[in-house]
Chain A
Amino acid sequence: MAAEPSGGGMRTFYTGLVVLSVVGIGAILYLMLKPATVSIPVNVAVQASDTAGFQGYVAGSPDAPVEITEFADYQCPYCQTFATIQMPTVEERLIKTGRLRFRYRDFPLSDIHPNARISAHAAACANDQGKYWEMHDKLYDGQADWATKANAAPVFQDYARQLGLDVKAYDECMKSAKYAGRIQASRNLAVQLGVSSTPTLLVGGRLWTGRIDSDAIIHLVDSLAPVKPAPAEADSAAKGAR
């Protein structure tokens, strides 16, 4: 916009503009199409070490008379509803009172939920630092923020930061994909048991799918282990709750 440019000057300018545009667009496209740094492999061969000592994430007293295992997928909307609407009541009424031990196992539906495994892995990495259930809640509460993202890793990293995790250790855990085998093992187990949708609850060897609400779970636990009028006992059991 200085003195009116000469024809040669304009030619150089437009050449520069075109070159910069091509380089810029090329760089952006390259970065968009480049595979994400964090990638959790699907259908990995499960090693014995993947499952050693791990049988899911457990909340509640080891002495609780009833155990329910949930097979779920963090990207599944029904699991989200269950986790955010039904679970608080289940936790308050059953887990904290020592009547129920709740076990969470991954059943990632990778075919329809591309972020299922990476979210499960984020939870596993949070578990390394003792914040599994906090990350579980974050993932379900914020599902709408990451479910459709091509790369959800930054959102999960942000959750890790918000939860006060050591982010460097968390990042290393995510990049290593060290829990891919464990997640796969959990999925394999679910398939063996006949699980085909999420959420599915396993109660006393029987699978329970479809409409699952806290009232039904409370009734079920009541039927399996009727309440005894012993408040002191319940108090001591509640100490094991998450």
Chain B
Amino acid sequence: MATALLSLLGVFVALYLYLYKIGKIGTLVCGTGSCETVQMSPYARFLGVEVSLIGLLGYLGILAFTLGALRPGPAGERWPATVTAVLSGAGVLFSLYLTGLELFVIHAICRWCVGSALIITAIFVASLLDRRTHTAA
């Protein structure tokens, strides 16, 4: 259940960044960070697609899956946690790549991107804990 709530949080973070990128939201609320530098850099697109859109679709996918896994059938099984761990694990790797770009290529940090990286990492950790719980059961 924690993974579903975290995914929903991730949906809103990614949606905020995507709406900003397509011009539907004004200046990013970023404190002293450099969100706009990162969002306007060429690295804000991956294979021609907005990174924020990739994040949004990824979080929506994990959210839909984790909600579906709450049904009585799969709820007591281990495999949904494994699938969630695989999906979020891919997200963690992608976030690592993006954070690396921020630190070493763009030389600017977007707090919302860091927030998203923390959320996907938390989903990954929660799904691993879920797997462990089921192993122990």
Q: List 10 A-B contacts (CB under 8 A).
A: A1-B127, A2-B130, A13-B1, A17-B4, A20-B9, A21-B8, A31-B19, A34-B26, A151-B25, A154-B39
Shortest A11–chain B CB gap in Å is 11
The number of A-B residue pairs with CB atoms under 8 Å apart is 96
Residues of A within 8 A of B84 (CB): 1
Query: Which residues from A are CB-within-8-Å of B75?
Result: 1, 4-5
B27 touches A36 (CB 8 A): yes
- Shortest CB-to-CB span from A154 to chain B, Å, is 6
- Within A19-60, the residues touching B (CB, 8 Å) are 20-21, 24, 27-28, 31-32, 34-38
Q: Is A144 among interface residues, defined by CB-CB distance under 8 A?
A: no
Task: Kindly state whether residue A204 has any CB partner on chain B within 8 Å.
Answer: no
Quick check: is A157 within 8 A (CB to CB) of the other chain? yes
**Is B5 within 8 A of A36, CB to CB?**
no
| Cα distance, A9 to B40, chains bound together (Å) | 43
Q: What residues of A have a CB within 8 angstroms of the CB of B11 in the complex?
A: 24
Q: Is the CB of B23 within 8 A of A37?
A: no
With an 8 Å Cβ cutoff, the count of chain A residues facing the other chain is 34
Instruction: Let me know if B12 and A31 touch, CB within 8 A.
Output: no
The B48-105 residues at the A interface (CB cut-off 8 A) are: 66, 69-70, 72, 74-76, 80-81, 84
- In the complex, the answer to whether A24 meets B8 with C-beta atoms within 8 Å is yes
Closest CB of chain B to A160's CB: distance in Å?
Answer: 10
Say whether A65 faces chain B, with CB atoms less than 8 Å apart: no
Query: Which residues of B line the A interface, CB within 8 A?
Result: 1, 3-5, 8-9, 11-12, 15-16, 19-20, 22-27, 29, 36-37, 39-40, 66, 69-70, 72, 74-76, 80-81, 84, 127, 129-130, 133-134, 137
- Interchain CA distance A20-B5 in the complex, whole Å: 8
Q: Which 10 A-B pairs have the closest CB atoms?
A: A149-B23, A24-B12, A36-B26, A158-B40, A2-B133, A13-B1, A37-B27, A151-B26, A4-B76, A1-B130
CA–CA, A125 and B111, complex, Å: 28
Provide the residues of chain A in CB contact with B127, threshold 8 Å.
1
Please determine whether B36 and A1 come into contact, CB atoms closer than 8 angstroms: no
A2-B130, A31-B29 known; A155-B23 Cβ under 8 A: yes
Partner of A1, one of B16, B40, B72, B80: B80
Once the chains bind, are A3 and B3 in contact (CB under 8 Å)? no
Given that A13-B1, A24-B12, A31-B26 are known contacts, is A3 also in contact with B40, CB under 8 Å in the complex? Answer: no
Which of B24, B27, B29, B74 gathers most chain A CB within 10 Å? B27
Check if A28 sits within 8 Å of B19, measured CB to CB.
Answer: yes
State the CA gap A46–B9 with chains docked (Å).
48
Contact status of A150 and B24, CB under 8 A, knowing A28-B16, A32-B19: yes
Which one, A17, A32, A37, A157, contacts B5 given CB within 8 A? Answer: A17
Given A24-B8, A37-B27, is A1 in contact with B137 using a C-beta cutoff of 8 Å? no
CA distance A151 to B40 in the complex (A): 14
